[in-house]
Amino acid sequence: MPLNGPFQYAYDTQLHGFTWIMRPENSYFLNNFNTWLVGSHGGIPNCLDWFPVDEEVAKGLDSDDKAVTMIDVGGGMGHELLALKKEYPELPGRLVLPRSSGKYQRRPRDYSVRGHRA
């Protein structure tokens, strides 16, 4: 990916945009970007609108509250998990929103959503 485009020119950097936005000194931009992502989600169906949760998830779940019911990989701020817990509060187990890993890691935060607290 080219690192000499308009973004690099505007912000006087040779970093990729996502690498740049994850730097602690750019947290203002990261917060604005996350706010935009949340706002742009409006009107987009969540997994509950099309996935048969009753047939595919709820049946046969481990009733242990330490078991993991769903991991929302790439889940942003956990909207799908919160919707699942709101619609199916009786689901056992944990709903997990992991931190990003790899090249574009978020600043350290606890993004886990425990089943009983979502």
Residue 116 confidence (pLDDT) above 70: no
Instruction: Please provide the distance, in angstroms rounded to a whole number, between the alpha carbons at the two ends of the chain.
Output: 38
pLDDT in tens, 59-93: 778 777 788 888 887 666 777 888 888 888 888 88
Domain regions of the chain by residue span: 1-40, 44-118
pLDDT in tens, 33-53: 877 777 766 667 777 888 888
The pTM score is 0.54
Closest CA to 73 of 47, 100, 93: 100
pLDDT at 88: 87
